[in-house]
Amino acid sequence: MPEEFSCCHISPPFLSVGSDGDLNLDSTLQELSMYNFPVEISCTAGEVAHFLEKYPLLPGIILVEQGEFVGMISRRRLLEFLIRPYGRELFIQQPLGTLYSYARTPILLLGETTLILIAMQLSLKRSPELLSEPIVVQTACGAYRLLDVQELNFISWQIRGIKNFVRYERSQAQMIQNDKMASLGRLVDGVVHEILDPVGFIWGNITYVSTYSQDLLKLIAAYDQELPSFSQTIEKLKEEIEFDFLEQDLLQSLASIRTGAERLKRLVTSLQNFCHLDELYPKPIDLHTCIDNIILLIHSRIQGEIEIIKSYGQLPPVYCFMGQLNQVLINLLSEAVDTLLNEAVRQQLHLEDKKTLKKPQIKITTEVISQKPSKPHAPDSRWILIRIADNGPGMSQELQEQILESFSLESKNGKETSLAVSYRIITVKHGGKFNLRSQPGVGTEFEIILPLV
């Protein structure tokens, strides 16, 4: 455009350079290249057309009035008016404000901190005729930039590729982990069988050994009564073997062996149930037995330190995948135990008054509950409630939000936590509910709610 038609000063468009780092799922619009091209609405369309010819990649114009943002006209909209019959004669010397009154369209205005993937979703929600319109981005300092939607599409598809790759890597890692757990379960199951066999021998013979020992002691007692005068050799032998003590301690030793064999058998059986390989369909289980088995497995960690309070209700058999439910139970109980033990160590280091200290406790409650249906006139649904509560220090609101965020399938954190795994097992695999409640200074409570079939 010749200089004699100029009626206002227009600065050339400026393309801001985006971030030179690698883009990821957390990348925002401020990391992309955008055009800075503010033009006063008093300028004419002809003056702007000169810049559109000189900068073919310029997506549009930011309209301002005395420096204040008014709106945006895209390159496509402006050219549509100029190429109409007699459009050049009608609009070329008209102020942009007049042209904008005819070419006004809805504008997608976003902040520069908007995630690229979110911006892409909002862009695709526009009407079909607006999909190619550039996006106006407001910076932190109050300036306005133009983002070419094609640039946004290209970058967002790159990020989606990264997202899909991350999901693929996670799925592969999960498959490997599942395979390891299955192999470990089979290995433990084999070891358990090898342990149960000798334990069975001990358990099966201890009754006979006890009976035989009592019979032999009766026989010796009968000899004492019938033959009161023993030889010096027998008397000396009795003194050497401490017969009186042996007679009393033998039965106690046999009772100790029986108790040890019983505890070992229970422990191995609990380990076998914990490593149970789930089948294709859920099966009915005794939920209280599962909980008791888990408590037995972690007994060595809580002995003498933490009090376990069990408040069991009357429960029918629960249909579930026992191996996965065992994993959830041990995750939650281990979380509570770790919290209480860490708090006990902290209190000892700070030399707090023992009179004010409270006994670490974990309370496990089970019951059948009813919940109102979502549809009117439908019967109440029945559920199994498992509540695991501790009297530890509790969680801060920030930590609770981080844990709840990790439950989301779209979580960007590549590390899978035990609580997130537990959440998905209960909600996705069993169709139940998983709740977390915590109050600083009071304690933390986990709730598992399973549907009662």
SS3 state at 138: strand
Lowest mean pLDDT among 132-141, 231-240, 290-299, 412-421: 412-421
Mean pLDDT of the chain: 80
Which of 102-111, 207-216, 433-442 is the most confident on average? 433-442
Q: If pLDDT is split at 50, 70 and 90, which confidence band does 182 have?
A: low
Q: What is the pLDDT of residue 2?
A: 39
Buried b (16+ CB within 10 A) or exposed e, 286-324: ebeebbbbbbbbbeeebeeebebeeeeeebeebbbbbbb
How confident is the model over 121-130, as a mean pLDDT?
85
Q: Tell me the C-alpha distance between 76 and 61, whole Å.
A: 11
Using one digit for the tens of pLDDT, what is the confidence trace for 298-307?
887 777 788 8
- Higher confidence at residue 205 or residue 81? 205
417: number of Cβ within 10 Å = 16
How confident is the model over 341-369, as a mean pLDDT?
79
Decide if pLDDT at 168 tops 70: no
Q: State how beta strands 144-147 and 14-16 pair.
A: unpaired
Q: How far is CA 406 from the centre of its chain?
A: 4
SS3 state at 16: strand
Dihedral sign from CA coordinates of 303, 307, 308, 310: positive
Using one digit for the tens of pLDDT, what is the confidence trace for 300-349?
777 778 889 999 999 999 888 888 888 899 889 988 998 888 888 887 77
Q: If pLDDT is split at 50, 70 and 90, which confidence band does 297 have?
A: confident
Q: Give the list of residues 6+ apart from residue 364 with CB closer than 8 angstroms, or none.
A: 291, 308, 309, 310, 311, 312, 386, 387, 388
List the one residue out of 212, 448, 205, 428 whose CA is nearest residue 329. 448
The answer to whether 292 touches 333, Cβ cutoff 8 Å, is no
Lowest mean pLDDT among 223-232, 256-265, 422-431: 223-232
Beta partners for residue 381, in sequence order: 371
Torsion of CA 267, 272, 275, 280, to 10 degrees: -150
Task: Enter the tokens of residue 435.
Answer: 């709740």
Task: Enter the tokens of residue 160.
Answer: 């989606």
Decide if pLDDT at 104 tops 70: yes
What is the DSSP-derived secondary structure letter of residue 4? G
Decide if pLDDT at 355 tops 60: no
Q: In what order do the strands lie in the sheet with 60-65?
A: 38-40, 60-65, 68-74
